[in-house]
Structure 1
Amino acid sequence: MKLQAMAKINLGLDVVRKRDDGYHEVRMIMQTIQMYDQLDMAESSRPGIRLATNLAYLPNNENNLVYRAANMLMEEFHIKKGLDIRLRKMIPVAAGMAGGSSDAAAAFIGVNRIFRLGLSMDELMQRAVKVGADVPYCLMRGTALAEGIGEKLTPLAPMPPCHILIGKPGISVSTKFVYSNLRAGEIKDHPDISGMIRAIEEGSLPGVTARMANVLERVTIPAHPVIEEIKRNMIAHGACNALMSGSGPTVFGIFDNRRTAEAASRALKRSGLARQVFLTRPFQGGNTHEK
């Protein structure tokens, strides 16, 4: 079975407060994009899970979210047969694009289908949050409002048509570092998430791009100024707006014209600011996951 695990960006990301348990409550607009990892999954007569990846530095045991997700379902349903998984990573690692969470979501889908467990999407999402806060969204996909720690999801109308330029500099960012250094109580200028939802419902791309904001930039950009340089580069070459996704360091720019987006992509590559550059579009194709 071949499955696509798609990346996400955050059109808007607000931190409402820090809870007593240490977690941060968020309010953010999530958007799936047409950029994906691929999982090849197959039942095996040999017991246990065997996970292989195209990146030597990725773990192939319980420290990998794919392994953890598959193992969770197989243990719960006492599956004695084995599972072979081949993960081909294309989404940048530690980039604020939920690559690992999306891989885990695909693993949930694959185990459910291969072993005919009969779990509904809601039942999978209830289990997925135990692996990671973004995993339920990666199961659902599309355009959504995420609240709580990211697990409370409300589907929204599709994002207006556009072109999305992705630029990932040659650095990685720890989500733990960003949230640990965020002073949530000092945030005064909160993103207009409600206004962005209205703009999405109205199909207004300018209404969406004008409200793009991410409060985590106040931590990540001072530590990694190249993120701001990439944003400025995209805007200088015609982006309606540009923003850091998640805790970073990936930057995305929104374009209303394909030729302008293609020219901006070439300019960003020439600049040397981003190690990985990718031009794509929003994904609104549902949650089938199969290639």
Structure 2
Amino acid sequence: MSITSLPGGTWKLGDSTVTRFGYGAMQLAGPWVMGPPKDHEGALGVLREAIELGVTHIDTSGAYGPHVTNELIREALHPYPGSLFIATKVGANRDAQGGWPTARRPEDLRKQVHENLQVLGVETLDLVNMRMGNAEGPEPGSLAEAFGTLVELQQEGLIRHLGVSNVTAEQVAEARAIAPIVGVQNLYNLAYRHDDELIDRLAADNIAYVPFFPLGGFSPLQSEALSAVAARLQSTPISVALAWLLQRSPNILLIAGTSNVAHLRDNAVGAGLALSGDDIAELDRIGR
């Protein structure tokens, strides 16, 4: 199968136009996002296939591995195509047990940004998301100091664009009062609809919303409802979930991840599934 155009079209992310169907590199690392992949050449193949399909937006983090996904991206794709936009995030480290301890002091963030630059092999990072909260989700509180450090690094020419991740709506507003952002990256899907109003506000201001875990947090009953719709459409739950996200709002960018080339291609095809008004109404009931 040859995919000549990815589903969803494109979005203006900062000063770059990117495909709304992107790729998230987290699953390329080893188990629990720690260590190298079991199949090194296979991981490189997934990244190269993403580019062949036309993907121009790849999401990564120095914490994945740690550094493993960034190393793979550089090995597979450097020198990078001029159209490629690589987003990364800072604000957490990894411990020996696979945990995600926060690391948001100015010196921590500067270290992480410089590590991203070095491992990816670039002089300027396209986008750095300030990751707040913890592994359980967003937490209330000010992000001013941490985000302000990224603003300083942007002013130094090390970062082109800023974003926030794992944040509350109040933290989004706080960040925007400090400096322009081009995107928000949060948990959101058919079953987890807490950011509905935020997505619409961001869309009105041409700010991207990048959901992660398209099938995360579903209850058994919600999963059953999604599977029923997928069966009726002769598709799969992940295809329906991705297609719904693309049709939910034009500012939603997908970063579905996989470590398998065939699965990547399936996602690219499945995300283009055409959902009718009746389909969407039925799917909307899952999260409401």
TM-score, structure 1 as length reference: 0.28
TM-score, structure 2 as length reference: 0.28
More contact order relative to length (CA 8 Å, sep ≥ 6): 1
Instruction: Report the structure, 1 or 2, having the larger strand content.
Output: 1
